[in-house]
Structure 1
Amino acid sequence: MKVLRRVCGVSGPSWAARGLATIIPKVSQVDNSSGFLGNVPHRQHPGILHLKTVKLPPELVQIAHFLVTQSSMRDLEKQTKALTNYLWSRKRPLETMDLRRKALEVEQKLREEAILAHPKGSLTQLDDSKEKKLQVKVLNILRKTTYHWESLDYTEELSFVYMAARMDGVFAAVSRAFHEIQKRVPDFQPSTLLDFGSGTGTVSWAAHSIWGKTMNEYMNIDTSAPMLALAERLMKGMSENQEPCFPGVYFRQFLPVSPKVKFDLVVSAFSLNELPGQAQRVETVQTLWRKTDGFLVLIENGTKEGHQMLMEARDAVLKGKDKVIHDFREPYIFAPCPHHLPCPRLSPERPLPCNFIQTYCPLPFSWNPQQKEEKFSFLILRRGPGESKEPWPRITQPVLCRPRHVHVHLCCPDGTLQHAVVTPKKHGRDFYRCARSSQCGDCLPVLNPDSEPALGEEDSHIDKEQS
């Protein structure tokens, strides 16, 4: 509330006296006055969070292009496309309990079919030979219908292909997540960064492009020695003295052991799916949270698998309890969820991914177009008390603009998904134009009806007191 009043230039007493129109019944209201924005343009209303086309730092583009042109690797274009498709379609490894349950279901179904194939009552159980055939058939079905997760060994060659295929897309997604922190918390000036699963060091480049004036330590953690060597080569750029493009960059294969070592900004981008099981993912996320002093940023593919891994990490932080608590500040969800309730998109009937799109200029290779889009899911958690202002609903799908009305799909603070139709007649010209200027991932500056009474409700309450 305080933030909305400050941004929109609305004082306390006059706010309650203005008329309000409901955008979502029993969920939110919007200010229906002409002074809603003050001097702020509609396309820059306080809920705008999306980024325009992201461009990689020129030094990074130059060295990446140089390494590719000097490379003798064959069919690099074909390999980059194959790796991109593989990483996008990759699923989590199936847990042992789930595999056993699936095997029992298949076995029971085949057993019932075998018994029913005989005349009624002539067969109640299978003999040894048929039992063995049944088990072989179960195994064959499981092999064909079960996703076979394999750990990726990032050799020198595969690390190079990953750089050419994914470095620019990762930079775009990370930049979008960092932009949200910078836009909503301009006072946050981190000095230390921990990047788990750092890969080509893209997160350090993205952090430097935003907070380079205050950052003095970039800790890159990756288990692959060839990947770390490539990231260090990229960091040195085209400089003749082989000095890093910016100071304070470190490369390690293991996380710092001491729980007292903390970082202002901790990031894991597209790395959780590299872990062999749920227990390892949960343990890793909890370890990263213990090392977080400010923000923890998690980014994955914008698929069902990626979104579900982030919701798994969300529960691990919000519901997980350490035996020894080194930091008593409670976690709260900073973005994109406007609530701490279960994700409404993870319905058992039809689970849908919560994802966003960022446009970027890819590396200037012959097979790349001038612009590409990165579809990703992200989760940002913060230490400390919850936000002082009331959370605004998040736009979860592309805004559909039609003549004199706009369709917006919102994830609301009460934990529900709502479809709102905004019109200039009902909600006012200013808010209508704000909705038309918004995109997926932005927030709509609407208020909870419990926070401020509508004009009619206030008048009715005053009449009752006078009577």
Structure 2
Amino acid sequence: MAAARHLRRACGTLRTANSFSVFRGLATVIPKVSQVDNSSDFLGKIPHRKHPGILHLKSVRLPPELVEVARFLVAESSMRSLEEKTKSLTNYLWSRKRPLEAEELRRKAHQVEQKLREEAVAYARQKDALNSLDEVALNSLDEAAEKKLRQNVLNVLRKTTYHWEALEYTEELSFLYMVARMDGVFAAVSRAFHEIQKRVPDFQPHTLLDFGSGTSAVSWAAHGIWGKTLTEYMNIDSSAPMLALAEKLMRGLSEDQQLCFPGVYFRQFLPVSPKVKFDLVVSAFSLNELPGHSQRVETVQTLWRKTDGFLVLVENGTKEGHQMLMEARDVVLKGMDKVVHDPREAHVFAPCPHHLPCARLSPDRPLPCNFIQTYVPLPFRWNPDKKEEKFSFLILRRGPEESEEPWPRITQPVLCRPRHVHVHLCCADGSLQHAVVTPKKHGRDLYRCARKSHCGDRLPVLNLASEPASEAEKAHTDKDQH
């Protein structure tokens, strides 16, 4: 009777203005979810809040010696309007898009020209009242009209096309970047490194290569996790002022001016020899600094050649950032490099639980796959106590694929409701699923694990027999992403 009353209430509510939210709750239920090993206590004495799929970090904090140097440099700076300039740079970097390729620009110019030509001819027809004998003239314009048409095409392209510009990191811009982005970069990279450490505790890297190293936040993050084994931190950045700033941050405020930890090197160019490999190779927020698609492909190939263990790529949590990572993923997985320097296979380690095309990159409605990391920002007066970094990341691994359970990744915030939990999953079959987990259908352990999970965690389930998210669910997801 209670179930019948509940169903009647739900059906009645579906006819109200709030029908969308109820339909969303009933849209897709995964009926046959089974946990890793329901017959044995797979959790052991581990609490549900620390189940094997937990990967998120509550909050990230910069090393105190790095914070101390940054505060000192800002206090000594004579730069005016630092807060406004910092916010402006942050917004600009977040909204930055990829450079438009020449072929795409030509195609767009042709479309604009065709549309304007048709409008010009139609206007000429109306103005001169052309008859059927003048049809030949309809497809051509006089010299003055052609010149005006070309100018109009250029004007339209200027207004509607994103104009990418290469950033020259001068001493001033490098300083602004440190103030605006060093803590956010550190937070995002720390989250990516934490996933490797948590899932592969035996991985003990000795060498690190950071492409587009900026303020060396990657080296600081890596030192905090693998400082006992890392002996070489190779920082590569094309900007000499940025490298000088990174070295100043690394030397700290000590009187002897020694680096805060040994083995750190600063270079403007990548090592040329393909035989020089690194256990851990990183590119954080650097792919969009390259002037085109071909340069990005060449750079990813070079970085992969130098990868002996893991390649970690991090970008903004936007459509542009996600698409650049999926572009890099295809370059590595499809083996687009003409010369094979290392026969070991490439595998996607995170966040994808599969090697299939990303389900979020649908042609009609592409959505970013992004995650959020909370961190304590640099202690400047305009910063709040806590901030969040929204980022996308990709970790590729070289070598034989490990026999690890293909657990699905949680791609959106978990919605906890009375006696049921909504989780959105990217599954091993390449699909996106919306699961409603209940203790009655799926077991107490899995239900509690789901309640304690967050976006970016892996849910310890197998045998997903489910339906893809409904159109209403996709529409709601699209709204959430924007």
Partner of 1:409: 424
Residue 92 (structure 1) aligned with residue 98 (structure 2): yes
Partner of 2:413: 398
**Counterpart code for 1:413:** A
Please tell me whether the aligned partners of residues 338 and 393 of structure 1 are also in contact (alpha carbons under 8 angstroms): yes
Partner of 1:124: 138
Partner of 1:58: 64
Residue 294 (structure 1) aligned with residue 309 (structure 2): yes
Residue 304 (structure 1) aligned with residue 319 (structure 2): yes
Partner of 1:168: 183
Partner of 1:448: 463
**Counterpart code for 2:260:** C
Q: Deviations over 1:5-48 (max 9, x none)?
A: xxxxxxxxxxxxxxxxx97368x533556834221101001000
> Could you tell me how far apart the structure 2 residues matched to 1:409 and 1:447 are?
15
Residue 29 (structure 1) aligned with residue 34 (structure 2): yes
**Counterpart code for 1:368:** N
1:135 CA drift (Å): 1.0
Please tell me whether the aligned partners of residues 23 and 29 of structure 1 are also in contact (alpha carbons under 8 angstroms): no
- Runs of at least 5 residues in structure 2 that lack an aligned partner in the other structure: 1-27, 466-482
> Could you tell me how far apart the structure 1 residues matched to 2:464 and 2:401 are?
20
Q: Out of 270, 277, 288, which is 1:262 matched to?
A: 277
1:324 CA drift (Å): 2.9
Relative to the length of structure 1, the TM-score reads 0.89
Q: Deviations over 1:297-352 (max 9, x none)?
A: 00000000000000110011111343332211000000000000000000000000
3-state SS in 2 of match to 1:199: coil
> Could you tell me how far apart the structure 1 residues matched to 2:238 and 2:453 are?
40
Please tell me whether the aligned partners of residues 34 and 430 of structure 1 are also in contact (alpha carbons under 8 angstroms): no
Question: Where do residues 419-438 of structure 1 align in structure 2 (5 Å cutoff)?
Answer: 419-438=434-453
Identity of aligned residues (%): 80
Please tell me whether the aligned partners of residues 36 and 430 of structure 1 are also in contact (alpha carbons under 8 angstroms): no
1:133 CA drift (Å): 1.2
Partner of 2:9: none
1:127 CA drift (Å): 2.1
Q: Out of 386, 389, 394, which is 2:404 matched to?
A: 389
Please tell me whether the aligned partners of residues 34 and 442 of structure 2 are also in contact (alpha carbons under 8 angstroms): no
> Could you tell me how far apart the structure 1 residues matched to 2:188 and 2:338 are?
34
Q: CA RMSD in A?
A: 1.6
Q: Deviations over 1:42-94 (max 9, x none)?
A: 10010000011100001000110111011111111111100000000000000
Residue 322 (structure 1) aligned with residue 337 (structure 2): yes
3-state SS in 1 of match to 2:60: coil
Partner of 1:369: 384
**Counterpart code for 1:294:** G
Please tell me whether the aligned partners of residues 54 and 457 of structure 2 are also in contact (alpha carbons under 8 angstroms): yes
Q: Deviations over 1:388-431 (max 9, x none)?
A: 02311000000111111111110000001011111111111111
Partner of 2:16: none
Question: Where do residues 208-287 of structure 1 align in structure 2 (5 Å cutoff)?
Answer: 208-287=223-302
> Could you tell me how far apart the structure 1 residues matched to 2:464 and 2:102 are?
47
> Could you tell me how far apart the structure 1 residues matched to 2:275 and 2:80 are?
47
1:184 CA drift (Å): 0.1
3-state SS in 2 of match to 1:124: helix
Relative to the length of structure 2, the TM-score reads 0.87
**Counterpart code for 2:75:** T
**Counterpart code for 2:292:** G
Partner of 1:378: 393
> Could you tell me how far apart the structure 2 residues matched to 1:148 and 1:344 are?
29
